[in-house]
Chains A and B, each alone.
Chain A
């Protein structure tokens, strides 16, 4: 996990005992996590009574660095050892690293299950194809049509109910038995390739 110079400087100030004393450190860390998850767009996240004595510019710098670090950690799916290694390199002592980590866990626990909230936040960026939620089908039998007097062929009417980004949509189509067989074969192939891809 590479960190830019400004982030490093901000985190160093966060870990510096002379800048933040033992009381204000957890408050700042908590504020950083909270600002990412709960108080979106609230400019008053850092206006806390415990932090009145701090220089506002420095506080904002620390906040920017810490939030960036948290997001980078989420992006890299960093585990505890990576996070603590990075923080220790930036002159954090073990106690502060521990505080950082427990705050992370505490904050994320309070909404969903364990670290899903951060996971959620980062994975909500991107795009994906529609998911198939359900299928309904009907078998019809065509006896004749305008051109032919005798057709006598069965065909399937299939309706896939899909979902993209919370919005549902139905995909309807009709196919003959062979086409359906073909589709099923293709789907099986796809499933098999996914399975193969998971065994690299």
Chain B
């Protein structure tokens, strides 16, 4: 039983960092040094501040040892140890005391922190463990001469051919979302021309790298879109397609603006022309640099097509120019003439530039005047139409003038009729208006309600998204921890078998139960006995009282009866004494047993040996003191 406890204690002490020898397997074999080291290490783990000041080894001097023992005892009491403790616990150790102290300390050891330090969670820990496992696997391989290495060894011992991570863009046969997927040509291209993805590369290493890269790019794009859609897209209340098209339009607009602002200065001055043009060339160059090598198939976007087109055109032009140049290079005076021509052309170019400048200024001026003239023209035309209307009204009145009275009457009747009609229409309008307004209100209400509804649903959707996100994260984390724990379980040493411990504990518990039952049985037995004794004493008392009375009555009359009464009294007295003696014997027996137990424990404390050791130590202290005194005298 105790061996089990001792083994657990020693195991715990080893985990804390105490170097317990292999052959020490019970507390009885602990020396003072080992005990001090173990206790100090435990205290350091429990309370680093408290344990920092304690030395894990015993000093050679006796008085110093005594001091260390005192401070250790104080530290143990500070940690919360309630039992009896002093310097003697460490210097003159007795087994049960050490055991109870160590049990207390080991229980006090912070379990969670130990576990946490043993298994840090998270991706980095998993990665580190994987790295450690890989290194271990490589270390376990035996070295072989390079000439007889297997493929497995290529990896670790002779480094096979390595290729750098070089990717090439590849044309995927998957439909991208957009307008192009419906085009017949694109479909035809995919069906008949596009080679399978693995056939699009020149080497296998770049194939692997490119496929992985493409996949990673797709994943990250999807993730980015997901994040953007959840943060901004949902709030805009558009369908994903609408959101995309709107974003596209916005981007195009911005690009246009940028281009326009970049192109503006070119019209400012003739010499400024060269700068933005070269900028544009830079841009094109950078595009070209990022463009892939020719033999790779490209994704057929419009932009790259035009890009390619211009590029090939340029190349063709360059090719056409070079032979002429090489022909001209042959003679020297041709070069001279060329230079002259060049300077002339440059002058001409300057002239032309200034001409262009002038003309541009002229054009701007004329454009401005043109706009002004156009404005004036519009205004005039407006005035014209107004005047024409007036003219027509006047013409009609002049036509009506000859038969004025008649016409006036007619006009009046007309006016009246139209007034009536207006009134009529107004009443009709009123009739119609009321329901329409009601309808309008109703619709408005519905609208606002739907608005509310939709915003509520939106927030719901958002919270749902968040929940989904959180739970997926959690699930991932849990899965990771699960895997980690699995690997840990596999790597755990099997010697500290849990099931054995639990079985042991269960056995102990059942034993205790049995003992408890027995104890209760004995207790009830004792109680019954007590009851019997009580009832018997009661009966005895009563019988004695009755007999006493009867005999006492007769004793007055008869002498012999009086004698018997005396005997009765004496008998009673003697019996009482007997009982008393028996009880006394019982208590004395109990005391004897107690004392025997005490003697046992004292024997366990190795008192005699300890006393001898104390005497020795006392002598050592005296010697030290004497030596010190001598030193003081010398000094």
Q: Are B146 and A134 in contact (CB under 8 A)?
A: yes
CB-CB contacts of A93-129 with B at 8 A, as 1s and 0s? 0000000000000000000110010011111111110
A40 x B151 contact (CB < 8 A) = no
Q: Is A23 an interface residue (CB 8 A)?
A: no
Q: Is B132 in contact with A199, judged by CB distance below 8 angstroms?
A: yes
Which of B31-39, B162-170, B339-347 participates in binding chain A? B162-170
A42 → B minimal CB distance (Å): 6
Knowing A57-B191, A121-B204, A131-B159 are in contact, say whether A194-B139 is a contact too (CB < 8 A). Answer: yes
- Let me know if A113 and B152 touch, CB within 8 A: yes
- The answer to the question of A145 belonging to the interface, with a C-beta cut-off of 8 Å to chain B, is no
Interface residues in B100-157 (C-beta closer than 8 Å to A): 128-129, 131-133, 135-136, 139, 146, 150-152, 154-155, 157
- Shortest beta-carbon distance from A116 to chain B in Å: 5
Asked if B190 and A60 make an inter-chain contact with CB atoms under 8 angstroms apart, the answer reads yes
Comparing A1-9, A135-143, A151-159, the segment that makes contact with chain B is: A1-9
Q: Which residues of B contact A60 (CB under 8 A)?
A: 173, 190, 194, 196-197
A138 and B197 alpha carbons, distance in the complex (Å): 55
Inter-chain contact A45/B215, CB cutoff 8 Å: no
Given the interface contacts A9-B174, A124-B160, does A67 sit within 8 Å of B135 by beta carbon? no
> Using Cβ atoms and an 8 Å threshold, which residues of chain A touch B139?
194-195, 198
A83 within 8 A of B: no
**At the interface, yes or no: A197 with Cβ under 8 Å from chain B?**
yes
Which stretch from B206-214, B251-259, B452-460 is at the chain A interface?
A: B206-214
Interface centre among A64, A65, A163, A199 (most CB of B within 10 A): A64
> Once the chains bind, are A125 and B173 in contact (CB under 8 Å)?
no
Assembled-state Cα–Cα distance A114/B195 (Å): 30
Residues of B within 8 A of A133 (CB): 146, 158
CB contacts (< 8 Å) of A75 on chain B: these are 212
- B204 and A40: CB pair below 8 A? yes
Is B329 engaged at the interface, CB distance under 8 Å to the other chain? no
Chain A residues within an 8 Å CB radius of B128: 200
**What is the distance, in angstroms, from A157's C-beta to the closest C-beta of chain B?**
22
Digitize B389-406: 1 where CB-to-A-CB distance is under 8 Å, 0 elsewhere: 000000000000000000
Q: B170's closest neighbor in chain A, by CB?
A: A64
Given A133-B146, A194-B139: A64 touches B158 (CB 8 Å cut-off): no
Q: A164 in the interface, Cβ–Cβ < 8 Å? A: yes
A46 to B173, CA, bound (A): 13
Q: Is B198 an interface residue (CB 8 A)?
A: yes
Given known contacts A60-B196, A120-B151, A197-B132, is B208 in contact with A68 (CB within 8 Å)?
Answer: no
Are B208 and A122 neighbours in the complex by a CB distance under 8 Å?
A: yes
Distance in angstroms between the alpha carbons of A41 and B164 in the assembled complex: 19
User: What is the distance, in angstroms, from A108's C-beta to the closest C-beta of chain B?
Assistant: 12
Tell yes or no: A49 within 8 A of B by CB: no
Is A57 in contact with B196, judged by CB distance below 8 angstroms? no
Q: How many residues of B contact A (CB 8 A)?
A: 51
B152 touches A116 (CB 8 A): yes
A67–B197 touching, CB < 8 Å: yes
The complex places the Cα of A116 from the Cα of B309 at a distance, in Å, of 45
A69 to chain B, nearest CB (A): 9
Nearest residue, chain B, Cβ from A128: B159
A43 touches B215 (CB 8 A): no
A134 to B145, alpha carbons, bound, how many Å? 9
A86 at the interface (CB under 8 A from B): no
B218 to chain A, nearest CB (A): 4
A166 CB-CB contact with B under 8 Å = yes
Tell me which residues across on chain A come within 8 A of B205, comparing CB atoms. 124-125
B500 interface residue per 8 A CB criterion: no
Contact A40 B198 (CB under 8 A): yes
Q: Which residues of A contact B196 (CB under 8 A)?
A: 35, 43, 45-46, 60, 63-64
Q: In the docked arrangement, what's the CA distance between A64 and B171, Å?
A: 10
**What's the minimum C-beta distance from B430 to chain A, rounded to whole angstroms?**
61
Q: Is the CB of B131 within 8 A of A57?
A: no
**1/0 contact trace for A186-200 toward B, CB 8 Å?**
000000001101111
A94 to B160, CA, bound (A): 38
Query: When chains A and B are docked, how far (Å) is the Cα of A128 from the Cα of B164?
Result: 10
B555 to chain A, nearest CB (A): 101
Q: Chain B residues near A65: list those with CB within 8 A.
A: 174
Residues of A within 8 A of B285 (CB): none
A72 adjacent to chain B (CB < 8 Å): yes
Q: Closest residue to B152 on the A side, CB-wise?
A: A116
- Tell whether A125 pairs with B159 under 8 Å between CB atoms, given A40-B207, A45-B196, A45-B199: no
A15 proximal to B (CB < 8 A): no
B172 at the interface (CB under 8 A from A): yes
B161 contacts the other chain (CB 8 A):
yes
The answer to whether A126 touches B162 (Cβ under 8 A) is: yes
Q: Does A61 contact B (CB under 8 A)?
A: yes
Residues of A within 8 A of B222 (CB): 4-5
Q: Is there an interface contact between A72 and B160, defined as CB atoms closer than 8 Å?
A: no
**Given that A127-B164, A198-B135 are known contacts, is A57 also in contact with B218, CB under 8 Å in the complex?**
no
Q: What are 11 A-B interface contacts by the 8 Å CB criterion? A: A7-B215, A36-B207, A56-B192, A63-B173, A65-B174, A71-B208, A72-B215, A112-B151, A119-B155, A121-B208, A125-B205
A-B contacts besides A36-B207, A163-B159, 14 pairs, CB < 8 Å: A5-B218, A5-B222, A39-B198, A40-B203, A41-B201, A61-B174, A67-B197, A71-B215, A125-B208, A134-B146, A166-B161, A197-B135, A200-B128, A200-B129
> Which 5 pairs from chain A and chain B are nearest by CB?
A60-B173, A4-B218, A43-B195, A198-B135, A200-B132
